[in-house]
Amino acid sequence: MGGEGEAVEAIAQKKVMVVERRLKTGEVILRFAMLVLAILSAVRVATDKQTRDILGLNKTAKFTDVKALLVLVVMNWIVASYSFVRGVICILSMYTGSSLLNKPLAWLFFGFDQTMAYLILGAAAAATESAYLAKRGQSEFQWIKVCDFYGKFCSQIGEGLVSAFFVSLCMITVSGMSAYNLFRLYGTKGKNIQ
């Protein structure tokens, strides 16, 4: 009877290891997807410029003219850098076989993941609001529809925003994984975890 219980426990352990490996693989894929998407978003927005002749004057629209876009570019580079570092850490933990997780480190990763998720989502939302005003104008303030004059500029900003929201979705998903990795450390019965 004792051998049967050990066999069941061994099978359960193997299933847990398979799930852990799949979660870690998914996390690595998401982190490197964020890296690529954040760089794509930053480059699309940062390289956007359009010059138009308006009433005999050459006017150039640049992303630095809208501070929310500047913040979005900076946040995309920060998230890309963070995703690269965390992706490498995940790969190392997969290949060394160690989880590289104790409670203080898990709390640190959870805190950074949450912070990055909120910051990139906030930056994308602020940039979207600015883009909305550029597209629709604001008649109460007599703000014109800037995108009527700078169509290419606005289209490229839109592409960067779509990419930034995909980064946000990936970051939110990774934050959920990070929460799981943290709080599972508190759910182990009878195991000695630091």
**pLDDT value at position 191?**
53
Compute the mean pLDDT over every residue in the chain, rounded to the nearest whole number.
84
pLDDT computed for residue 165 by the predictor? 95
Assess whether pLDDT exceeds 50 at residue 132.
yes
pLDDT in tens, 77-103: 999 999 999 999 888 888 886 665 678
Q: How many residues does the chain have?
A: 194
Residue 142 has pLDDT above 80, yes or no: no
Cβ neighbours for 110, distance < 8 A, ≥ 6 positions apart: 175, 178, 179, 181, 182
Q: What is the average pLDDT across 53-64?
A: 82
